[in-house]
């Protein structure tokens, strides 16, 4: 494969970066350092997902010190705190101002393929571009998942996806059904609950993690334990970890646990998984008690690992009592509710996203549409991914790991450009 430039002109770049979130920007930072001409094409605005796909009271779940964008690690006065939405956007904007990445906003890439001479052709909603190399940095959350059963909801019930939720006041007056207990579902349920709404919450099998343990944020312990350096291929679940729901916890008000049992004590109505809607009746599966127990068990097992680490390394850390469940679901927990009779005026689907790489015409995808790659390097020379959840480590799709991944991809871009050779990776290792 010859990667030598064959096109020139104002619409040709050595590297085109698709997506202007933290991943695309981080890559641009390295390309600028290397003096490589490039352009970021961003469908919306830089930092769009933080600006427009998070609710008003959103704040990071990960501590500020983990925000380590290349060349611009967090330097505020609250490293152990959790930036709120506006502060995150400001952090991104300051990052942009710090090195002025070449960017075109409001331009969506609609098709990516190779010309007969192997140059990449990038069709967009505006012009056509060509590039020697392309980095796909469009995150991992493309299409909000809403189960088709949603079509059975009465039209007078407002229904939105978690990425559309703003605040309690933006919903009609009444009770709200939140479906899903990943990070978003739990935090949105809490937001509504704190705003005085009666919330009905369908609980699933998401794990949870304590905010603090034995004198430190659990994230800080896990960092010391090198969990965030664990590559995906050495994780006990292997690449299967990419499918796992994130542990729920919050950074709100300085950070705390999310304990659904406590919410239940305070009046939130918990159910098992959402299953169906028939004639205005929502049906729920069994298993609430098990889901709560399992979530607590995960949290306690993380504490076990921390205890072991403290003991092994003879660290002086205060002892802490373990969690004791504050509520148990009664045996007669409802398995259905009449939505209208319960004055449920809104349903918020917090069941995640799916990816959509259908605009990329290169034979690199597996049977489920996931791009085969090794740390973002695909088997198609010159085509890379950046910012995928667990692309390389836990932090790959987050602020904490993007610097390492961006440096790695940039190194390959430079190598391919200079030597016409991929840097170190053997094609046979690529999945
Ligand atoms: C609810 C939620 C909470 C999170 N909380 C945290 C947290 O506490 N800490 C943390 O570190 N991480 C968190 N994350 C994960 C992660 O940090 C964010 O998802 C982050 O936005 C990922 O950055 P990115 O640049 O990879 O992708 P994105 O921010 O999604 O950026 C991708 C960009 O690509 C653009 N784009 C998409 N398709 C195209 C196209 N075809 N053409 C051109 N442009 C395109 C989009 O408009 C977008 O701006 C959270 C994620 C979610 C969903």
Domain endpoint, select from 333, 349, 365: 349
Ligand 1 mean position, distance from CA 268 (Å): 30
Tens digits of per-residue pLDDT, 360-408?
Answer: 999 999 988 999 999 999 999 999 999 999 999 999 999 999 999 999 9
Would you say residue 430 has pLDDT above 50? no
Angle (CA) 367-370-373 rounded to 5° is 115
- Give 3-state DSSP helix, strand, coil % of the chain, rounded to 5: 30, 20, 45
Q: In this structure, what DSSP letter does residue 86 have?
A: H
Residue 117 lies in a domain: yes
CB of residue 360 inside a 6 A radius of ligand 1: no
- Residue 184: CB within 6 Å of ligand 1? yes
Contact 39 CB / ligand 1 (< 6 Å): no
Residue 431 in domain: no
Residue 160 near residue 346 (C-beta atoms within 8 A):
yes
Residues 130 and 182 in one domain: no
CA pair distance 260, 289, nearest whole angstrom: 11
Helix (H) or strand (E) holding 94: helix 85-99
Backbone φ and ψ for 313, nearest 5 degrees, come out as -100, 10
Asked whether 405 and 391 are in contact (CB, 8 A), the reply is yes
Reading phi first (left if > 0) and then psi (alpha if -120 to 50, else beta), residue 41 is in beta
Backbone angle region of 191, left / alpha / beta, with phi > 0 → left and psi within -120 to 50 → alpha: alpha
Residue with CA closest to ligand 1 atom 10: 398
Alpha-carbon gap, residue 142 to 153, rounded angstroms: 24
Please tell me whether residues 115 and 198 are part of one structural domain. no
Is the CB of 49 inside a 6 Å radius of any atom of ligand 1?
yes
**Beta strands at 212-213 and 216-217: parallel, antiparallel or unpaired:** antiparallel
Q: Which among 213, 280, 208, 215 has a CA at the least distance from the CA of 246?
A: 208
Residue 124 inside a domain? The answer is yes
What does the pLDDT average to over 267-293? 96
Same domain, 280 and 379: no
> 185: closest CA among 293, 267, 295, 260?
260
State which ligand 1 atom lies nearest to the alpha carbon of 387: 26
Q: How many domains does the chain have?
A: 2
* Ligand 1 within 6 A of CB of 405: no
Residue 2: band (very low, low, confident or very high) from pLDDT cuts 50, 70, 90: very low
**Which residue, judged by its Cα, is nearest atom 30 of ligand 1?**
139
What CATH number corresponds to the domain at position 192?
Answer: 3.50.50.60
Domain end point (choices 315, 349, 383): 349
Instruction: Encode pLDDT of 198-227 as tens digits.
Output: 999 999 999 999 999 999 999 999 999 999
Helix, strand, or coil (residue 15): strand
Please choose from 182, 350, 397 the residue to mutate so as to test ligand 1's pocket, defined by most ligand atoms within 8 A of CB.
397
Same domain, 232 and 171: yes
Residue 7 has a pLDDT of 67
Asked if pLDDT for residue 428 goes beyond 50, the answer is no
Q: Are residues 199 and 340 in the same domain?
A: yes
CA distance 386 to 267: 42
Does ligand 1 lie within 6 Å of residue 185's CB atom?
no
Nearest CA to ligand 1 atom 25: 21
- On the CB side of 324, CA atoms within 13 Å amount to 2
Using CA atoms, how far apart are residues 349 and 304, in angstroms rounded to an integer?
33
Tell me the average pLDDT across 132-154.
95
Q: Say whether both 175 and 247 belong to one domain.
A: yes
Q: At what angle do helices 22-34 and 85-99 cross, to 10 degrees?
A: 20
Q: Band the pLDDT of 422: cuts 50, 70, 90.
A: low
Asked whether 201 lines ligand 1 (CB < 6 A), one says: no
**E strand or H helix at 333, and its extent?**
none
Task: Identify whether the C-beta of residue 53 lies closer than 8 Å to the C-beta of residue 184.
Answer: no
Give the list of residues 6+ apart from residue 262 with CB closer than 8 angstroms, or none. 326, 327
pLDDT at 299 over 90: yes
- Mean pLDDT, to the nearest integer, of 221-242? 95
C-alpha 183 to ligand 1 mean position (Å): 15
Nearest to 3 by CA among 95, 115, 92, 81: 115
Candidate from 17, 46, 49 with most ligand 1 atoms within 8 A of CB, to mutate: 49
Q: Are 214 and 102 part of one and the same domain?
A: no
- Answer yes or no: do 256 and 304 share one domain: yes
The pLDDT value recorded for residue 426 is: 36
Which protein residue's CA is at the shortest distance from atom 15 of ligand 1? 398
Say whether both 208 and 290 belong to one domain: yes
Q: Report whether residue 31 contacts ligand 1, using a CB cutoff of 6 Å.
A: no
- Quote the mean pLDDT of the chain: 94
282 shares its domain with 385: no
Q: Which two tokens stand for residue 118?
A: 């192997």
23: Cβ below 6 Å to ligand 1?
yes
Our mutation pick for probing the ligand 1 site, out of 16, 17, 18, 19, counting the most ligand atoms within 8 A of Cβ, is 19
Helix (H, G, I), strand (E, B) or coil at 106: coil
Is residue 262 helix, strand or coil? helix
Question: What are 329-350's pLDDT values in tens digits?
Answer: 999 899 999 999 999 999 999 9
Structural domain harbouring 90: 12-142+355-420
Listed residues 326, 349, 372: the one ending a domain = 349
């Amino acid at each position: 494969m010859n990667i030598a430039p064959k096109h020139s002109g104002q619409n040709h770049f050595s590297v085109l970066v698709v997506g202007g979130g933290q991943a695309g920007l981080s890559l641009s930072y390295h390309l600028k350092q290397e003096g490589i001409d490039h352009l970021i094409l961003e469908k919306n605005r830089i930092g769009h997902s933080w600006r427009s796909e998070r609710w008003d009271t959103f704040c990071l779940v990960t501590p500020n010190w983990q925000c380590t964008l290349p060349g611009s690690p967090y330097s505020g006065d609250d490293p152990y705190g959790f930036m709120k939405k506006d502060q995150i956007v400001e952090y991104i904007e300051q990052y942009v101002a710090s090195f002025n990445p070449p960017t075109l906003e409001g331009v969506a890439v609609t098709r990516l393929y190779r010309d007969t001479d192997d140059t990449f052709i990038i069709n967009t909603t505006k012009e056509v571009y060509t590039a020697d190399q392309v980095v796909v940095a469009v995150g991992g959350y493309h299409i909000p998942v809403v189960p088709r059963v949603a079509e059975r909801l009465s039209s007078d019930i407002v229904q939105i996806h978690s990425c559309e939720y703003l605040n309690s006041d933006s919903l009609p007056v009444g009770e709200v059904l939140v479906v899903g207990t990943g990070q978003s579902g739990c935090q949105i349920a809490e937001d509504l609950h704190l705003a005085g709404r009666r919330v009905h919450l369908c609980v699933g099998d998401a794990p949870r993690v304590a905010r603090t343990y034995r004198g430190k944020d659990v994230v800080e312990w896990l960092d010391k334990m090198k969990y965030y350096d664990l590559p995906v291929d050495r994780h006990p679940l292997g690449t299967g970890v990419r499918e796992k729901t994130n542990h729920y916890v919050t950074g709100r008000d300085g950070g705390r646990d999310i304990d659904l049992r406590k919410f239940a004590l305070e009046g939130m109505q918990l159910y098992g998984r959402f299953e169906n809607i028939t004639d205005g009746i929502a049906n729920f599966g069994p298993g609430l008690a098990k889901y709560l127990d399992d979530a607590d068990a995960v949290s306690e097992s993380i504490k076990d690992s921390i205890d072991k680490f403290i003991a092994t390394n003879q660290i002086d850390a205060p002892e802490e009592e373990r969690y004791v469940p504050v509520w148990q679901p009664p045996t007669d927990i409802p398995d259905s509710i009449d939505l209208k009779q319960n004055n449920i005026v809104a349903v918020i689907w917090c069941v995640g996203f799916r990816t959509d790489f259908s605009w990329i015409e290169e034979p690199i995808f597996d049977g489920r549409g996931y791009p085969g790659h090794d740390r973002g390097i695909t088997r198609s020379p010159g085509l890379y991914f950046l910012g995928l959840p667990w692309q390389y480590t836990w932090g790959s799709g987050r602020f904490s790991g993007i610097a390492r991944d961006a440096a790695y991809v940039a190194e390959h871009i430079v190598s391919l450009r200079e030597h016409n050779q991929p840097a170190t990776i053997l094609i046979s290792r690529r999945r």
